[in-house]
Structure 1
Amino acid sequence: MDGASVNLTQSLFSWPYFKEFTSFITILTPILPIIALFGLIANITNIVVFLKAGIKDNVTTLLISLSVSDMMFLVLVTPSLCTRVIIYFVPDWSWPFYNRLLDELLYWPSYTFYDFSSYISVGLGVTRCACVAMPLQFKSVFTKARTVKAVLVLFILVVSIRVPIMSTYRLVWIKDPRTNSSVVSVAGQDVKSITRFNDIVGHTSLPWINFIIMITCVGVIMLKLYQASMAHKYHTATSISASRSKQAPEAMGHQGRSAKDLRVIQCVVLICCIFIVSQLPFLTYTTYRLINQQFDTDGRLRFLLFTFGAVGRTCSYLNASVNIFVYYNYNRTYRSILLSMLRLKRENAQ
């Protein structure tokens, strides 16, 4: 083997930095597959419930698209999680291929769907923000048909951004020094410039743009709801609008919005807030890695690199798994269908 192959083999099998954050990994490693499994069940449940309810508007279209994308992300990332668990707890496990093959082979496809989920979440925020801030102008703009087309365009965009980096990787044969046998691995070819481009555009610039748009949308929605709430309280207290003051609390909300509309807005705001919180560690990780060369796998700050990476991955798994709680609490139709499904299942079991 030449020098490059030897270095590749050593880097693949030695894991020189993996044990540097043992205590952190000890806590996270067993938990992550559980989160992923729960997320898979939750997103499948979301898809079934939304299909039963019927895809009648743009919000439901985006929510079911988000559930499908999150499910695909978790399906593709689960082999990576299982690999990490086996490597950590059974380091001498005999593999028929390079032990990180599944992890590295499925990394970019899985996080392509995670990026797709991010864009859908931003779409939710933008559509609700527009409808809350300027309801008359945008009431008929975001139709279901247009939303479906927009989702398809977003998917093509996300895949197009990731295709260059994914196309550089090839399956190769390398020698495992532990068994002195050749095994299948994955390696990139001429990836330096493409990786740099991907880090700047796909991992940093576009996520930051999404992040800023999302924060702006949430801020505008909260401001408009606050202003509407103050106006509603004022009109009620001064009896300027007798008909408004006589409306049942559950029937009408801020500035004539129905309770159903308010629950939809609350649901979208919570999904956006989950996105914002989950993206922050990832953005910190990718941005600092660009500006500090020591924040890398072979740098002085590798401990922080792996720590932020582990936190960012954990947040991404949670982000793809917890929306079921939001839907259950803020969508009456969703809750009603889910409870009826659970009752039917329990009756059939009896």
Structure 2
Amino acid sequence: MNAIVLASTVHFQRFGNPTTQTTRVTIERAVEENSAIRPILSAEVHLVLVTFLTAACLFVGTMGIVSNVLVILTYSKLGFSETINISYLVLAISDLCSSVIRCWGAICFVFIVTEANVPFDPSSLPVPTSFYPAQGFEKTTAFVTAFIAFERCLCVQFPLHVKTIVTKRKTVYSIVIIFLLGFLPSNLIHMVYPLKWVFSPSKNRTILAMVPLETPVRYILQRALLAYYGTVLHFTALIAVWICTIFLAVGLKKKASIRKENLMHPNNGTSDKQKERRVIKTVFLLAITYLACSIPAAATMLVPQFEPEFSTTRGLARISRVCHMLSLLITQLNSSTNLFIFLHTGSKFRRTCFALFIK
């Protein structure tokens, strides 16, 4: 069974998808009949779900592109007198890149594109040009979110010294390091996915495709990248955001009890307190949204450790594939919601954003 699945996978990677949906289903049925393990989902249902999730990824990605462009334009107008504005801008840039790359991957799976008479194989492109780069930007987004939450923790715990602890230079350096650790390693995948001219039987012509090298280096590199992004960075960022959010909540509770003792001066620094509350509310919403959107992806990574059948080469292969696509869609939502959070919590951001549409 594994040999059959591997052969069909190599066929898809090298020569593109079949020309019609009927052909796709027919091939999958043939694989089923020669397999010892019967998938739970039928080929027809699996194809419908994959098609729907691909279209949903394309829609959410487009929404993420539009919303993050608006965030970037708005913060460019607001300026960067405060260090947190720099972090917000970088967060939007990372989310924009992630949305663009995810859209590109979804487009490569669209039937119209795969059936088009183009001189390259769209089905060979998503893994090296979409999956791994998107992982890099999504983990960059995760650590920028953790950095923003950490910065707010410092503001709450050390309000008198935070301007010397968190400076613009330190913020820029931290963000550069996050980008280097998050996005840069994903480019290593291109070392084992070179462009080659191959003959496509379905198109009866020679086309350009990214053909994976059949060498041990490729498998080692892929496993290393999957472990790095799927386990190390994913759970490190998840834990970091959780810890920073908890410390931020505890710090706010302490600060609230201290403020009760200063009721004799209710108007002292009221505007600054309101501004601080809005910023902290924004950070809370960003952190909670990230945590909510990351839990499904974490679950799909942990389940195969306890249920070996939940993999791409066993009886639950199609359910596994659908669950992974659904978790990626939910993760992608995290890159599309920042605009709505900023509009909800920031009156100045809201006015500046609306002014972009007014001459």
TM over 0.5: yes
The one-letter code matched in structure 2 to 1:21 is H
Measured on the aligned residues, the alpha-carbon RMSD in Å equals: 2.8
User: What corresponds to 1:325 in structure 2?
Assistant: 340
Structure 1, 264-273 or 138-147: larger mean CA deviation: 138-147
The 1-side partners of 2:43 and 2:138 are apart by 25
Secondary structure at 2:241's aligned position in 1? helix
- How many matched pairs? 328
Distance 1:5 1:34 in 2: 32
Match for 2:122 among 79, 99, 113?
99
1:298 aligns with 2:313: yes
Aligned partners of 2:317, 2:230: CA distance in 1, in Å? 19
8 Å CA contact retained: 1:211, 1:279: yes
Answer whether contact 1:161 1:202 (CA < 8 A) is retained.
no
3-state secondary structure, aligned to 1:300? coil
Q: CA deviation at 1:311?
A: 1.5
Q: Tell me the secondary structure at the aligned position of residue 222 of structure 2.
A: helix
CA gap 1:141/1:96 in 2 versus in 1, 3 angstroms: same
Q: How big is the shift at 1:210? A: 0.8
- Residue in structure 2 matching 1:120, options 139, 144, 154: 144
* Aligned amino acid, residue 270 of structure 2: A
Deviates more, 1:295-304 or 1:8-17: 8-17
Q: Tell me if the contact between 1:251 and 1:258 (Cα under 8 Å) persists in the aligned partners.
A: yes
Match of 1:287 among 297, 302, 327: 302
TM-score, normalised via structure 2 length: 0.81
Question: Is the Cα–Cα contact under 8 Å of residues 132 and 221 in structure 1 kept in the other structure?
Answer: yes
The higher-RCO structure (CA 8 Å, 6+ apart) is 2
Which among 113, 135, 138 is matched to residue 111 of structure 1? 135
Change (3 A) 1:182 1:6: farther
Alpha-carbon contact 1:66-1:117 (below 8 Å) kept: yes
Measured after TM superposition, the shift of residue 306 of structure 1 is 1.2
Alignment check: 8 A CA contact 1:5 1:174 kept? no
Distance (whole Å) between structure 2 residues aligned to residue 136 and residue 28 of structure 1:
49
After TM superposition, the score normalised by the length of structure 1 is 0.83
- Aligned ranges 1:16-27 → 2 under 5 Å: 16=28, 19-27=44-52
Deviation at 1:68, TM superposition (A): 1.0
Whole-Å separation in 2 of the counterparts to 1:325 and 1:5: 46
Question: Relative to structure 2, which stretch is displaced further, 131-140 or 273-282?
Answer: 131-140
What's the counterpart of residue 245 of structure 2? 218
State whether residues 20 and 303 of structure 1, in contact with CA within 8 Å, keep that contact through their aligned partners in structure 2.
Answer: no
Identify if the C-alpha distance between structure 1 residues 8 and 307 changes in structure 2 by more than 3 Å, giving closer, same or farther. Answer: closer
Which stretch shows the higher mean deviation, 299-308 or 157-166? 157-166
1:29 is matched by which residue type in structure 2? T
Unaligned runs of 5+ in 2: 19-23, 29-41
Is 1:242 the counterpart of 2:264? The answer is yes
